[in-house]
Structure 1
Amino acid sequence: MTIRSHRPLRVALIGWGAISRRVAALLSNSPSAGDIAIVAIGVRSTARAQDIPTGAVLITDPAQLAGLKPDLVVEAAGREAVAIWGEAALRSAPAFAIASASALTDASLLERLLQTAEACGSQLILPPGALAGIDAIAAASVLPLDEVVHSIVKPPAAWRGTLAEDMIALDGLSAPAVFFTGSAREAAVRFPQNANVAVISALAGIGLDRTRVELVADPGVAANCHRLSVSGAFGRLDIAIENRPLAGNPKSSEMAALSLVRTIRNRIAPLSR
């Protein structure tokens, strides 16, 4: 039997909500569990942070990251957390992965993060989240792209508590209804939880202002659905994915947590995929 000689990957999770808890549970039950150590949970307040992983410490100040020497910092705490923790994470760790992509609609924040990453020799990672085909869109963007359309289709319940309630009668729908059409930047700003992933497809392709987003409430679906249509010099791509909602947070998808697990595992896997 081969014994691994290197130390476990030291991971700091920012946020202890539904996504972070799911990520931690999946990692602890995986064959690579012994190769990954969650060393810290970053939160605003320790009062509500219960049942954190064994060996992890609760931190509330981004400056505390430096003393922990993490190999990877992973954010899943909402867009405000990216601005609060981002620069410290990039100074303290080789990589900072973010789930709350909508934070990057703030051009000045994105520029600061990229400048910090360049100055420190670290990397800002944007996992594909609930989407499929992001690698293909990024590859296709090497040549000119003509159009990227991202349709986000969710059951009415997933749009409750958002601006959609002021735009459409969610309880009275009997057929799919498009209630928003606009740029990826506008969609992510106005619907940061539900349209967060529009930033991912936009940054992979033709940018936040040229990517067109359609938001749909559909009483006939039970899953969170994403449909991407891309055309350009490479040819044409059409892809759809239906994601099971994340337990405890119907505005997000199970795939959002799975994508972060993949990102973490790929930091140590002999085969990155």
Structure 2
Amino acid sequence: MSASRPRRRLRLCFVGWGAIASRVGELLAERQPAGVEIVAVAVRDPEIGRPSMPTGARLITRPNELAGLDIDMVIEVAGRPAVAIWGEAALRHAASFVVSSVSAFTDESMLGLLLAVADEAGSRIVVPSGALGDLGALAAASVLPIDEVRHTIVKPPLAWQGTRAAEMIDLDRLARRTEFFAGTARQAADAFPQNANVAVISALSGIGLDRTRVVLVADPAAVRNIHEVSAIGAFGKLDLRLENEALKTNPKSSEMTALSLVRLIENAVAPLVR
């Protein structure tokens, strides 16, 4: 009889505890996947009250505090600047660094540095599927040549408030569906890091940041955040459409963003990966 293997465990550190992280924490508390424990949360200001914080989680404020915590996975959900601040330490002190703010990867020099650190430390950078749910088909298709990928993001005007879209169109008086940006995934994610962050995911899954075409749309008739991804190549043709409910606490983000992180975490300890 073969010896049994140790039970899988996953000690997590979240970088940031805003709308997405607190929703993930809420779902994990409900579902209680075996072996998963949130042992630390990295924040900028530990004095701010966070009623939804996981019981027993240690608050940390500096990357060097990751040392000695025996972390398996660091999950960034704090916005683009946090990737540069926490990335190297996360890759040196944990097996995986999950990057939600993938718009940070429009900076090629930073991405190159993090890849070099991951290679040296034997760790991995993980890009979750985010608001797109899963792009496994596009990633598989990229084994063969892909001719083109187009990603259209449609959101209600409210979701574009506080972004450059407000300088380009009148969001308060918009009467019909209006396309206000067309360019590469790199350009879209750089100009709209909160709303078009997800364009980097489709780009990394397929033909890259500079060949993936992105269109951004504000539509007063839209009640959900909509993503339409199409691709043509040697594999055939792909058309994907998702209509995501927005997070109740942040209309710029989709509920699916939190759900994809829950799936990623549960798959890391599950006996059946799906």
Match of 1:77, SS? coil
Match of 1:222, SS? coil
C-alpha deviations, 1:11-45, integer Å up to 9, x for none? 0011010001001110011041x421100000111
The aligned counterpart of 2:50 is: 50
The aligned counterpart of 1:262 is: 263
Displacement of 1:271 in angstroms is 1.0
Measured in 2, the distance between the counterparts of 1:133 and 1:29 equals: 23
Match of 1:241, SS? strand
Displacement of 1:133 in angstroms is 4.7
Match of 2:210, SS? coil
Displacement of 1:6 in angstroms is 3.1
Displacement of 1:8 in angstroms is 3.7
The aligned counterpart of 1:21 is: 22
Is 2:179 the partner of 1:147? no
C-alpha deviations, 1:145-191, integer Å up to 9, x for none? 10000000000000000000010111222211000000000100100
Q: Is 2:91–2:124's contact at 8 Å kept on the other side of the alignment? A: yes
Displacement of 1:5 in angstroms is 5.5
Displacement of 1:246 in angstroms is 0.6
**How has the CA–CA distance of structure 1 residues 49 and 116 changed in structure 2, closer, same or farther, with 3 Å as cutoff?**
farther
Q: Is 1:132–1:239's contact at 8 Å kept on the other side of the alignment? A: no
Letter in 2 for 1:219: P
The aligned counterpart of 1:201 is: 202
The aligned counterpart of 2:167 is: 166
Measured in 2, the distance between the counterparts of 1:20 and 1:7 equals: 23
Measured in 2, the distance between the counterparts of 1:156 and 1:60 equals: 35
TM-score by length of 2: 0.96
Q: Is 2:133–2:256's contact at 8 Å kept on the other side of the alignment? A: no
Match of 2:204, SS? helix
TM-score by length of 1: 0.96
Match of 1:47, SS? coil
Match of 2:148, SS? strand
Displacement of 1:48 in angstroms is 2.0
Q: Is 1:43–1:49's contact at 8 Å kept on the other side of the alignment? A: no
Q: Is 1:100–1:196's contact at 8 Å kept on the other side of the alignment? A: yes
Measured in 1, the distance between the counterparts of 2:141 and 2:239 equals: 13
Q: Is 2:8–2:269's contact at 8 Å kept on the other side of the alignment? A: no
Measured in 2, the distance between the counterparts of 1:54 and 1:180 equals: 43
**How has the CA–CA distance of structure 1 residues 11 and 49 changed in structure 2, closer, same or farther, with 3 Å as cutoff?**
farther
Question: How many percent identity over aligned positions?
Answer: 58
Unaligned runs of 5+ in 2: none
Matched ranges for 1:82-101 at <5 A: 82-101=83-102
Match of 1:97, SS? strand
C-alpha deviations, 1:46-81, integer Å up to 9, x for none? 122523211100000111112101011111000000
**How has the CA–CA distance of structure 1 residues 31 and 54 changed in structure 2, closer, same or farther, with 3 Å as cutoff?**
closer
Size of the aligned set, in residue pairs, is 269
Q: Is 2:100–2:128's contact at 8 Å kept on the other side of the alignment? A: yes
Q: Is 1:155–1:223's contact at 8 Å kept on the other side of the alignment? A: yes
Measured in 2, the distance between the counterparts of 1:49 and 1:83 equals: 25
The aligned counterpart of 2:41 is: 41
Q: Is 1:133–1:239's contact at 8 Å kept on the other side of the alignment? A: no
Unaligned runs of 5+ in 1: none
Measured in 2, the distance between the counterparts of 1:146 and 1:43 equals: 42
| Cα RMSD after superposing both structures | 1.2
Q: Is 2:133–2:257's contact at 8 Å kept on the other side of the alignment? A: no
Q: Is 1:96–1:123's contact at 8 Å kept on the other side of the alignment? A: yes
Match of 2:181, SS? strand
Matched ranges for 1:176-255 at <5 A: 176-255=177-256
Q: Is 1:132–1:240's contact at 8 Å kept on the other side of the alignment? A: no
Letter in 1 for 2:13: A
Which runs of structure 1 show a deviation greater than 6 angstroms over 4 or more consecutive aligned residues?
Answer: none
**How has the CA–CA distance of structure 1 residues 105 and 204 changed in structure 2, closer, same or farther, with 3 Å as cutoff?**
same
